[in-house]
Structure 1
Amino acid sequence: MSSSQRHLFSDYAERQSKQDSRGQVPLPNRGRRVRIVVSASILWTALIVGRLYQLQISEYHSWNGTAHKQHASTITLASERGAIYDRNGKILATSVPGGSVFVRPRQVRDKVNTAGRLSQLLDIPREDVLKKLESKSPFVWVQRQVPRPIALAVEKEELPGVGFLLESRRYYPYGSAASTLLGKVGTDGKGLSGLEAFYEGHLASDAHAAPVARDGVGKILHVTHELTETPRGKPLSLTIDAPLQLIMDEELEAGREKAQAKRAFAVMMNSVTGEILGLSQSPSPNFNLAKLKSRELLENHVMQLSFEPGSIMKPFVAALAIEHEVTHFHELINCENGAYRYGGHTINDVHPSAMLSTYNVVVHSSNVGMTKLGHRLGKERIYEGLRLFGFGENTGLPFPGEASGLLRDPKKWYPIDIATHSFGQGVAVTPLQVVRAISALANGGILPKVSLVYGEGSGDSKRVLSSKTAEMARRMLVGVVEEKGGTGSRARVPGVVIGGKTGTAQRPRDNGVGYEPGAYIASFVGFADGSSIGVDTPLTLLVVMDRPQAKVIDGGRAIYGGVASAPVFQRIMHRSLHFLSTQGSGYNSDSPRSSERELDSSDPLHSDGLNGRGQESLPERRGTGFRFVSYRG
């Protein structure tokens, strides 16, 4: 090799050495990196395969259940409550199948037309329906618990995206009759007021859930098509007599309209047993219809309100005066020609008199005479006696919010309070207290226990007057109706012994301070002895008109109980006695009265759901208990 060749070879070797030093990896190092990459890939693949095995095989049931819970759920539907019956087995409240209409907005093709049809069928504003149809939610309720015939009419339309679910709804065969006593049930099937609320645990059955499908964020997609049997609650039997209740409702409404009163209420009781036979108020809601316009319509005035009784209180104080021997039946009382100063105030009579017997003090309703009798008794005996008659405490009936009235401790009385308590001012009573107390005067001196539900009374009956004093008080009450000049003459029923007492009182302001100008409460309470016409059920009835606005009724001032309320008492009692006389002892016949709604007992699951009067029909057999879904996709 020449020197020049050796020089070239030396340069080439030197360049190769420099390249190796600048990063060329020797062959053994490259092989190690390849092995690392391959090993990592194998390990990663093994992990993925293992996890898939765990999810798809080992933990399949667990994850499948979680997914099912996310997409399959339930909604609570109104279950079938126990029926409420009157004393003779007539249905006052029951559960019938009702349809709840829903939409899936995304499947509604013509929203405007669909909104129009649903608006007509469901009787709700078209704009409200359209708003629901334009909702972004995949499932929207349009209206819950509509009458079954309406739900079937919706189904018949075959509107795309519209369906309905049959669920139990509460139905009241007699409409508004005793509605505030029975109470209202919400769309969730729970009692909101009245006996429906108080006996929730008795009437209600276990909640029923319908399966639904939900999307990933929990919104309802649709209700599954299933047929399920539902439980039913226990029944409840009342002492109410449906035909008598209907008579009371009709006459009370007519009387309120004639007197132009803001509201009116009445209660009828068996004078001996204390069983409540009817309990009415006007206006009264019909819970079969749509939503209430005012929550006030849920209130039961007979149970929950108190009022100043006015002259209704006079026979009780007079009876106490006779019982305590501070007067006697025929004693003449100087009534001061209708004006008498007492406790720094002047007591006036509407009909001035000079001398009246104790009997006629009540018959002619003298405030002056009652003030003098009250003065002889003294505040302690007045208070204790009125408490003995049940005033100042509720009757203990199973009804939410029963009022107690107001009877103040005599230690807090002013001198004038002896007078005002003697003629029914400065004291507040409830309708039930008045009816119960008058019953004691009518039946011989026994204050009856009050009952509304069979098997449940409110305490025991007790004697509050001697039979001799009670007979004198009874004669006073008969004189109020039968005597010439008696304030209750418009309550007479031909051929029947009627006794009672009128009451006229100023109405206190709602805030309890002073009296409302020009506002009065006109009332009449009395009893009927129908034995002369074959009726062996002694009846006591109270009728109250709250704020009558009419000036004159049949020639008399409408503010007076003898003018506004006594005629209503007369019509109710006359019709009730006639009805009872045709039913015989016990009056257990199911024959409908002329005013009683004719109820079709056909099964609503297999009929058009309507009877001859356009009322929803009732199931003949109880416990049909099925719900199903109809849906148009």
Structure 2
Amino acid sequence: MSGKKRQKRAEKALKKEKVALPSYRARRWTLLALMGVASVALVWRAVDQQIFETDFLQTEGERRHLRVVEMSAHRGMINDRYGEPLAISTPVDSIWANPRVLSPDRRVLVPLAKALGKETNELRRLLAQRSNRSFVYLQRRVNPDLAEKVMALDIDGVELQREFRRYYPAGEVFSHVVGFTNVDDQGQEGLELAFDQWLQGTPGKKRVIRDGRARAVKDVESIRKPLPGKELHLSLDRRLQFLAYRELKGAVKHHKAKSGSAVILDARTGEVLAMVNQPSYNPNGSKDARGGRFRNRALTDVFEPGSTMKPFTVAAALESGRYRPSTAIDTTPGFYKVGRHQIKDIRNYGKIDVSTVIRKSSNVGASKLALDLPREELWSYFFKMGFGDPTNTGFPGEAGGQLTPHVQWSKIDHATLSFGYGLSVTPLQLARAYAVLAADGIKFPISLLRLDEEPRGERVMRAEVAKNVRQMLKAVVSAEGTAPAAAVPGYQVAGKTGTVKKITSGGYSEDKYLAVFAGMAPASDPRLVMVVMIDEPRAGKYYGGQVAAPVFSKVMAGALRLLNVAPDDLSADSVRLAGLGAEQ
């Protein structure tokens, strides 16, 4: 075979093995065209959004992230009569979280729970229960150092919110009067509750833009400015309150008593200058109400006033015109029967005058005076003095006391009311009644708020009768009376003791007493009226002249000096008597 033939055969075989390759030109141009159109569309869309739709898109973005938030309002301050702060609201931070953003990872929750003082599982449960929300408080109104510590962790979904926290500079001394607020700054006790609407501010509102972590990044506009609450000026004098609190607390502790209350009134206006109770509580601390510590006992607790009622029985007798201070009353032989019951004195005083009935605190003499007066007349007189009638201070839970209608009196009720059994009063009610004697027969409205104008009183007793009874009450504080321990050096003091048997389930107890003293000073022109009540003294002494009268003496002596009240008795006998009383 020639070489040419072999070459032709090889070429034929090679042609058979060749495969025709497809052409990609059409596809390439198609793809390039599509990419060109897409690029033009994207460029056009970008230009459209950045230039032609700018306002619309910004509005839509803001609408999705725009929120109306409240701005906390400052609660009004509570001050004493001279402007000393008793309740203050200060700005603090609360820690909150967005459960939708906050990671449930243990590496995040463990340090956060440790900083908050919580268990990790407790924190996880809290977030899980509110997983469908975007806001949950982790801790309210924290100290600045804790807020700083938590924010230093830099955890997504954990932020701070500005709020206000209530502080009480005077602590437990004013706690029963001022009260306290809850975590939402709403009044819960005392005047914080009574004047909650007055003290509360009106929260403000503003629009803000929040970012993806729900943080406010821009203030858009103020819708309503927050309006702070109004201030409250109390009638109480901070100096007198501290003085009364210290002496009452000391007496309750010294006599191992169950509780105690003391009230000081301005005899010329009816303003409450001091009101203290034991036991007390700290409104800045734990709100543990064990033992009724939140109760303002001076307004909410009632008791039988005992012999402190005798001045009003005598006043009713003098008002009737049938008796004078020198009228003789026969108390022989020191007891007598009223039906099946016996009324007795601690000794036989024989024939005494009306003034001595007060000085010696004769039950027989007082009951004979009462039984000689018509029931309706005596009831009406007691009611005019304020017994059985609330003082209308507006204080939450104030008790009105009890004075049974005269149509329900038996003869023994008629008799025992004269020396304070069978009716009930609060310490403030008793102080109001004694303020009538101090104000020459004028009864002023009682006020826990400072009065800027002189109040209008109501005459409920003739001035002559009030002065006569005051003169009799001065003898009670003499060396021959039942309360020499109530004397105040340099001042004439008028007052009355009460030692009251407490009611138990089986009747009147033979070993549980209330020690009471009610009085005023200076007796020649009274400025202050004070009532001291100590419940169940258990350290041996229990008479009002032994337990309550010394508290009156110490507090009244300091109060008269603080108010610059001029002395009205600089005799040597006065100073000697006060020294004698202080030892008892």
TM-score using structure 1 length: 0.71
2:71–2:226 contact (8 Å) kept in structure 1: no
Residue 356 of structure 1 is matched in structure 2 by 352
1:271–1:538 contact (8 Å) kept in structure 2: yes
Give, in whole Å, the separation in 1 of the partners of 2:299 and 2:171: 20
Residue 374 of structure 2 is matched in structure 1 by 378
1:85–1:91 contact (8 Å) kept in structure 2: yes
Q: Is the counterpart of residue 523 in structure 1 residue 523 in structure 2?
A: no
CA offsets 1:282-310 (integer angstroms, 9 cap, x no match): 22222222333449333222222222111
2:168 is aligned, of 169, 172, 194, to 172
Q: CA deviation at 1:115?
A: 4.1
2:556 is aligned, of 569, 573, 597, to 573
Residue 541 of structure 1 is matched in structure 2 by 530
Residue 493 of structure 2 is matched in structure 1 by 498
Q: Is the counterpart of residue 89 in structure 1 residue 77 in structure 2?
A: no
1:508–1:514 contact (8 Å) kept in structure 2: yes
Report SS of the residue matched to 2:352: strand
Q: Is the counterpart of residue 444 in structure 1 residue 440 in structure 2?
A: yes
1:155–1:164 contact (8 Å) kept in structure 2: no
1:436–1:450 contact (8 Å) kept in structure 2: yes
Q: CA deviation at 1:159?
A: 3.9
Residue 564 of structure 1 is matched in structure 2 by 547
Residue 288 of structure 1 is matched in structure 2 by 284
1:78–1:189 contact (8 Å) kept in structure 2: no
CA offsets 1:384-432 (integer angstroms, 9 cap, x no match): 1101111111122232332211011110111110111001011011222
RMSD of the TM alignment (CA)? 3.6
Residue 484 of structure 2 is matched in structure 1 by 489
Q: CA deviation at 1:268?
A: 0.6
Give, in whole Å, the separation in 1 of the partners of 2:175 and 2:218: 34
Q: CA deviation at 1:479?
A: 0.8
1:419-434 equivalences under 5 Å are: 419-434=415-430
CA offsets 1:92-146 (integer angstroms, 9 cap, x no match): 2221113323455737736555545433xxxxxx55x862355324654343234
2:501–2:512 contact (8 Å) kept in structure 1: yes
Q: Is the counterpart of residue 101 in structure 1 residue 102 in structure 2?
A: no
Report the CA distance shift for 1:92/1:342 in structure 2 as closer, same or farther (over 3 A): same
Report SS of the residue matched to 2:464: helix
Residue 123 of structure 2 is matched in structure 1 by 132
Q: Is the counterpart of residue 187 in structure 1 residue 158 in structure 2?
A: no
- Which residue identity lines up with residue 561 of structure 2 in the other structure? H
TM-score using structure 2 length: 0.76
Q: CA deviation at 1:337?
A: 3.7
Give, in whole Å, the separation in 2 of the partners of 1:537 and 1:108: 72
1:338–1:353 contact (8 Å) kept in structure 2: yes
Report the CA distance shift for 1:105/1:78 in structure 2 as closer, same or farther (over 3 A): farther
Q: CA deviation at 1:521?
A: 2.0
Mind listing any 5+ residue stretches in structure 1 that lack a counterpart? 1-55, 120-125, 585-633
Q: CA deviation at 1:232?
A: 0.6
Give, in whole Å, the separation in 1 of the partners of 2:61 and 2:111: 42
- Which residue identity lines up with residue 506 of structure 1 in the other structure? K
Report SS of the residue matched to 2:465: helix
Task: Name whichever of 326-335 and 204-213 sits farther off.
Answer: 204-213
1:118 is aligned, of 110, 116, 119, to 116
Give, in whole Å, the separation in 2 of the partners of 1:225 and 1:544: 60
1:34-433 equivalences under 5 Å are: 74=69, 79-102=73-96, 106=104, 109=107, 111=109, 114-119=112-117, 127=119, 131-132=122-123, 134-135=125-126, 136=128, 137=130, 140-146=136-142, 150-156=143-149, 158-161=152-155, 163-208=159-204, 224=216, 230-294=226-290, 296-433=292-429
CA offsets 1:159-201 (integer angstroms, 9 cap, x no match): 4546543311122221122222222222222222222222222
1:449–1:458 contact (8 Å) kept in structure 2: no
2:198–2:230 contact (8 Å) kept in structure 1: yes
Task: Name whichever of 452-461 and 184-193 sits farther off.
Answer: 452-461
Report SS of the residue matched to 1:365: coil
Report SS of the residue matched to 2:163: strand
Report the CA distance shift for 1:298/1:241 in structure 2 as closer, same or farther (over 3 A): same
Considering Cα pairs closer than 8 Å and 6+ residues apart, tell me whether 1 or 2 has the greater RCO.
Answer: 1
Task: Name whichever of 231-240 and 203-212 sits farther off.
Answer: 203-212
Q: CA deviation at 1:338?
A: 3.1
Residue 593 of structure 1 is matched in structure 2 by none
Residue 507 of structure 1 is matched in structure 2 by 502
Give, in whole Å, the separation in 1 of the partners of 2:237 and 2:197: 24
Residue 44 of structure 1 is matched in structure 2 by none
Q: CA deviation at 1:455?
A: 4.5
Give, in whole Å, the separation in 1 of the partners of 2:115 and 2:59: 46
Give, in whole Å, the separation in 2 of the partners of 1:174 and 1:395: 26
| Aligned sequence identity (%) | 34
Give, in whole Å, the separation in 1 of the partners of 2:234 and 2:194: 14
Report the CA distance shift for 1:398/1:346 in structure 2 as closer, same or farther (over 3 A): same
Report the CA distance shift for 1:387/1:530 in structure 2 as closer, same or farther (over 3 A): closer
